Amino acid sequence: MDYFSEGLSRAVALLLALDPETFSAVWATGMVTALALFVSLLLGLPLGFGLGHFRFPGRRGVRLLVDWLLSLPTVVIGLIVYAFLTSRGPLGEWGLLFTIPGMAMGLTLLGLPIVISMTATAVESTDSRLTDAVLSLGADRWQLLLATLIEARFAMALAAATAFGRIVSEIGIAMMVGGNIKYQTRTITTAIALETGKGEFATGIALGIILMVVALVVNLLVGLLRGRSNGEQGGSGGLGVGGGA
């Protein structure tokens, strides 16, 4: 217990002193997470919306592919990205291995299926009476699409928050593709693993505190968005019943 309390007190001292090594990992984590999340949302939201809203040949196969990517082990994702970015790989000349953009590529492959799947599910779960009501008012297809987008907005934001939580806490992809280079690609999770293994318990605790705060904020946001989404669906249902009466 003394070992833990001493490590905790030293960790607080590192955080208050804005220790450069500790906060370089925070900076790297913020950069790679922002890049990966931005690309995941840029591609995932429209793809997920299209997958949930439109009916087209092969849609079931695409949905199965997305679900399969969700269950793909992160170490396999890291291996695939490493193989592409290594000097002998097809993208080796880009020099992205052991860089922030290279790590972001791997983490995008982790977050993208989450955004696509949750967005598609959110769009599919919109009240069917919304479609009937909008069409009965003489709306065209684009207005129907916009109404569906508005109806699913909180659930889509929930998908973004979930992807963020998964990306920021990933260690395998960050370690394999980033190389855990000090002051460059060392993230919070890789630094915790390294420093704890070296016996630098204080640094591990300091970074763990930051990661726990981030996780707490994400969980609170997810809970808020889930409540808003459920409340909105309940409100829509009540309006639908009242209109029918």
Tell me, what's the pLDDT at 222? 76
Positive or negative torsion for Cα 30, 31, 36, 38: positive
Tell me, what's the pLDDT at 174? 94
List, as own/partner pairs, every contact residues 220-228 make where C-beta atoms lie below 8 angstroms and the sequence separation is at least 24, other chains included. 221/161, 222/158, 222/161, 222/162, 222/165, 225/154, 225/155, 225/157, 225/158, 225/161, 226/158, 228/154
Walk me through the domains of the chain, giving residue ranges and CATH numbers.
Answer: 2-244 (1.10.3720.10)
Tell me, what's the pLDDT at 138? 60
- In this structure, the dihedral spanned by the alpha carbons of residues 175, 181, 185 and 191, taken in order and rounded to 10 degrees, is 60
- Tell me the per-residue pLDDT of 130-154, one tens digit each, with 9 for 90 and over: 555 655 656 666 666 677 777 777 8
Tell me, what's the pLDDT at 129? 57
Tell me, what's the pLDDT at 41? 94
> Can you give the pTM of this predicted structure?
0.82
CA distances from 39 to 32, 101, 160, 217 (A): 11, 11, 11, 22
Tell me, what's the pLDDT at 235? 52
Under a CB-based contact definition with an 8 Å cutoff, are residues 25 and 187 in contact? yes
Residues of the chain scoring pLDDT < 70: 1-3, 127-145, 228-245
Tell me, what's the pLDDT at 127? 55
Tell me, what's the pLDDT at 196? 83
